[in-house]
Amino acid sequence: MTINYDTLIELQKVLAQMFEIEDKIKDIPRDLNDKEAVLQKTKLDYLDLSNKCESLSAEVEDIYKRYIEAGQTKEAKEKQMELTTLSREYENLAQEIEQAKASEQNLLKVYNARKKYLEELQLKLQVSADIVASQTQEVEEETEKKDSLIAEQNQILEDIKGKKDELSKDLSKNLLFKFERIIRNKGGVGVVPIHGIICQGCHMELPQQFANDVRKDEDIHFCPYCSRILYYEPSEEDEKFDNAVHGDIHADEEEGAETASDFISSDDNLFED
Ligand SMILES: [Zn+2]
């Protein structure tokens, strides 16, 4: 199977674009999900504060009721005192009036303090309600936008997939799958040249026989170190490579099959490393 490496390099670009768009599409709802999570938290805070306000409001109401009752008790005792003629009863009433007065004053103090605190909380509650409202609006707007953003990116993806199908029509399903995985894992670069015996993807030295096979280009070769697809590209390293295999790379073609098998067997040990 021979491979058109120019097409493969073109396909590589298209696949990298495709993955970028796919990631983008995945990120669109992710941003929105984050905002929704924040909104949920804000709503919980609001609810918490609202419950606090409600119970504090009941407490303040209760204190006020007790304050009024203390005042009424005081007045009733004062009226009773006007009517009494017995000195002992008079003394008792005077004491009770003093107690009611003290209680009334104390309740008023507590009432004022708690009422002030309630007003602070109510102000906070209003701010919290405003935040909930603005975050809700933002989430609603982004939900609407999300659908059109995704549709837009899907349209771009559709076009890219068309290009991909065109460029990959001669590749087997298996090879295409492998190539896509390499590109995903290797930062968008899945097909690289060899210079001499060096893979230009990972810069590892390849076995000489293996490099020779890549150069012959009779089949597809994957780098044993970085898994990228390899192709031959003339370079300065070729001279070193040629010297290393004792002569011209095409010697086997010129001198016949006998030399070719000699050449291969002499390098067989390289595969056992
Ligand atoms: Zn490599």
Per-residue pLDDT tens over the stretch 104-135: 999 999 999 999 999 999 999 999 999 999 99
Q: Ligand 1 mean position to 211 CA, how many Å?
A: 11
- N residues, the chain: 273
Per-residue pLDDT of 230-250, as tens digits, reads: 999 998 888 777 776 655 445
Q: What is the mean pLDDT of the chain?
A: 88
For residue 158, the number of C-alpha atoms closer than 13 Å in the C-beta half-sphere is 6
- Check whether residue 202 and residue 97 sit in a common domain: no
CA–CA gap between residue 127 and residue 50 (Å, rounded)? 12
Q: How many CB atoms lie within 10 A of CB 50?
A: 14
pTM value > 0.75:
no
CA–CA gap between residue 18 and residue 76 (Å, rounded)? 88
Residue 115 lies in a domain: yes
Identify the pLDDT of residue 1: 57
- Check whether residue 30 and residue 140 sit in a common domain: yes
Q: Ligand 1 mean position to 225 CA, how many Å?
A: 5
Q: What is the CATH number of the domain that holds 24?
A: 1.10.287.1490
Residue after which a domain boundary falls, among 167, 200, 222:
167
Residue after which a domain boundary falls, among 136, 167, 198:
167
- Check whether residue 122 and residue 214 sit in a common domain: no
Domain region containing 218: 190-272
Q: Ligand 1 mean position to 175 CA, how many Å?
A: 17
Q: Ligand 1 mean position to 215 CA, how many Å?
A: 15
Residue 178 lies in a domain: no
Which of 217, 247, 243 has its CA nearest to residue 232? 217
In degrees rounded to 5, what are phi and psi of residue 183?
-65, -40
Q: How many domains does the chain have?
A: 2
- Check whether residue 78 and residue 41 sit in a common domain: yes
Chain CA centroid to CA 38, Å: 14
- Check whether residue 224 and residue 263 sit in a common domain: yes
What's the DSSP call for residue 234? Answer: -
Q: Ligand 1 mean position to 199 CA, how many Å?
A: 5
Residue 236 lies in a domain: yes
Helix (H) or strand (E) holding 175: helix 173-185
Residue 177 lies in a domain: no
